[in-house]
């Protein structure tokens, strides 16, 4: 259910002459909607002419049949956004567009750079103008400003300069490119649609259009498709880089039906639930999930414990991100817009409540209060991730330690704050074992503080650091 933790974006791209690439991209974005709900956009190239339609809102709100029919072409990219650098307004919605050597390029990006300020200052000194406030605009400007060579060469040059997390799709009038940072922090995969290449943040974006999964794009890999040369690939090596996929893709971000590193995430999350029970069994009557993201782990927890699994919270699936915030007296209304307890099921019962994470703790506290008010005898919280103690600099919206309740409270203090009868977080070893993969394949910095990509000491991460006026809020250390 998590409202406290947000990933940054989803990207999609396809080169398929003779097919309705705009409609295929629309459906791909629909499958990636969970990765960002603030804005959506599609860029299409038709015989060298690039057209972009984007706006704030969900994919289904931004696009209609008339728009899709107007977007014909040979290749397209698409993007859904949740802001991690730059505020939520139209200028920051993607794909972003720039001119390059008489051509037009459009780019969509998932992730976050750690040297944005340095690169932005360099480009400003060279006379480059910026319309928005995102690190994505810096990537786009670097590629556009590279006058030498083709699009592949410009992307290659940009990848050697940017540092941080980036999975991206970029297109010109005659080519589409998917590329990934040398650490592979954010996911990107390659698919095949009737012999045509497709890029998607997750395999679920391939499934929805009937494309076959080919492989994951490797860390540091650049894959380009065009009519003249077909599909080509090369890798940019970075000394000291190692694979570091964000482990939260396995815990929460990616859809449970997506496949990463050969693992179906629904099965991995079930194993997290089984491991939770092995680590912290308790006398209880029912196992209930916090929908939707707590469901696979709750199923695993119930299977391992033998305690019945049931739905105790009903989710309103028609509620999406809103910018209308309730006042302090109406916070409980905010959670009831999304979840409502099945009082007849939980009254008098000892509940094991399974969720994916606790970030600030306020949403969890309201949830526990709601369950107890509905008559639950006990609420035993089981969290399928370890305590989040360190901020993310690579594209998750948790920029400061002061936002993270587990960074300055013990597990018992967190339990007391949220009002639960008991609380257990999955251990880091238990989490790693559940993935079935070695630890050196992942970034786990939010749990252990071991950042795979160096973050400059003076770099105070703040979403609004390039905003002006009231939006330019100070950053916590």
Q: Which residues are catalytic?
A: 9
Instruction: Give the closest residue to 426 by CA, choosing from 269, 321, 290.
Output: 269
Tell me how far apart the alpha carbons of residues 76 and 454 are, in angstroms, rounded to a whole number: 34
State the pairing for strand pair 39-46/49-56.
antiparallel
> Do the Cβ atoms of 111 and 186 come closer than 8 Å?
yes
Instruction: Give the closest residue to 78 by CA, choosing from 86, 66, 67.
Output: 67
> Do the Cβ atoms of 352 and 307 come closer than 8 Å?
yes
Cis peptide before 411 (omega within 30 of 0): no
State the pairing for strand pair 75-81/9-15.
antiparallel
> Do the Cβ atoms of 314 and 339 come closer than 8 Å?
yes
In the chain, what's the furthest Cα-to-Cα distance? 71
Q: Kindly state the tokens that stand for 284.
A: 């209880």
For 410, residues 6+ apart whose C-beta sits below 8 A from its C-beta are none
Q: Kindly state the tokens that stand for 305.
A: 């414990």
State the pairing for strand pair 103-113/96-100.
antiparallel
Residue 296: what are its φ and ψ, rounded to 5°?
-60, -45
Owner of token pair 């592949």: 152
> Do the Cβ atoms of 338 and 319 come closer than 8 Å?
yes
Phi-psi region of 184 (alpha: psi -120 to 50; beta: other; left: phi over 0): left
Tell me how far apart the alpha carbons of residues 129 and 123 are, in angstroms, rounded to a whole number: 8
Instruction: Give the closest residue to 37 by CA, choosing from 18, 53, 19, 59.
Output: 59
Tell me how far apart the alpha carbons of residues 174 and 7 are, in angstroms, rounded to a whole number: 31
Q: Give the helix/strand (H/E) hosting 178.
A: strand 175-180
> Do the Cβ atoms of 363 and 381 come closer than 8 Å?
no
Instruction: Give the closest residue to 23 by CA, choosing from 57, 62, 63, 82.
Output: 63
Q: Give the helix/strand (H/E) hosting 423.
A: strand 422-425
């Amino acid at each position: 259910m998590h409202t406290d933790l947000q990933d940054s974006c989803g990207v999609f791209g396809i080169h398929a002459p003779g097919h309705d690439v705009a409609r295929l991209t629309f459906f791909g974005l629909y499958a990636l909607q969970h990765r960002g709900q603030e804005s959506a956009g599609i860029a299409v190239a038709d015989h060298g002419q690039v057209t972009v339609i984007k706006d704030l809102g969900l994919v289904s709100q931004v696009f209609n049949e008339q728009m899709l029919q107007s977007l014909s072409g040979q290749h397209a990219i698409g993007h859904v956004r949740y802001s991690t650098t730059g505020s939520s307004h139209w200028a920051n919605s993607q794909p972003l567009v720039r001119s390059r050597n008489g051509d037009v390029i459009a780019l969509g990006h998932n992730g976050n750079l750690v040297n944005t300020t340095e690169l932005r200052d360099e480009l400003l000194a060279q006379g480059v103008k910026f319309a928005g406030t995102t690190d994505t605009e810096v990537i786009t400007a670097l590629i556009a400003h590279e006058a030498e060579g083709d699009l592949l060469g410009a992307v290659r040059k940009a990848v050697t300069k940017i540092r941080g997390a980036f999975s991206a799709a970029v297109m010109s009038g005659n080519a589409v490119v998917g590329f990934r940072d040398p650490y592979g922090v954010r996911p990107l995969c390659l698919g095949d649609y009737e012999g045509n290449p497709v890029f998607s943040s997750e395999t679920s974006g391939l499934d929805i259009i009937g494309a076959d999964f080919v492989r994951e794009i490797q860390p540091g890999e650049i894959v380009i498709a065009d009519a003249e040369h077909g599909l080509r690939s090369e890798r940019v090596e970075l000394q000291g880089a190692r694979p570091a996929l964000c482990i939260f893709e396995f815990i929460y971000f990616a859809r449970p039906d997506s496949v990463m590193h050969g693992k179906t995430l629904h099965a991995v999350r079930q194993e997290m639930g089984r491991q939770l029970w092995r680590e912290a069994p308790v006398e209880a009557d029912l196992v209930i999930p916090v929908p939707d993201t707590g469901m696979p782990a709750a199923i695993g927890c119930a299977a391992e414990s033998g305690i019945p699994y049931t739905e105790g919270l009903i989710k309103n699936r028609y509620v999406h991100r809103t910018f209308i915030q309730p006042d302090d007296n109406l916070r409980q209304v905010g959670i009831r817009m999304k979840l409502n307890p099945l009082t007849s099921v939980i009254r008098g019962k000892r509940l094991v409540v399974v969720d994916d994470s606790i970030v600030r703790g306020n949403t969890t506290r309201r949830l526990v209060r709601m369950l107890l008010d509905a008559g639950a005898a006990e609420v035993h919280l089981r969290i399928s991730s370890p305590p989040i103690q360190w901020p993310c600099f690579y594209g998750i919206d948790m920029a400061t330690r002061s936002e993270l309740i587990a960074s300055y409270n013990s597990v018992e203090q967190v339990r007391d704050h949220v009002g639960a009868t008991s609380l257990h977080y999955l251990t880091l070893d238990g989490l790693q074992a559940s993935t079935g993969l070695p630890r050196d394949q992942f970034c786990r910095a939010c749990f252990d503080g071991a950042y795979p990509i160096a973050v400059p000491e003076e770099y105070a991460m703040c979403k609004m650091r390039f905003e002006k006026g009231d939006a330019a809020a100070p950053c916590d250390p």
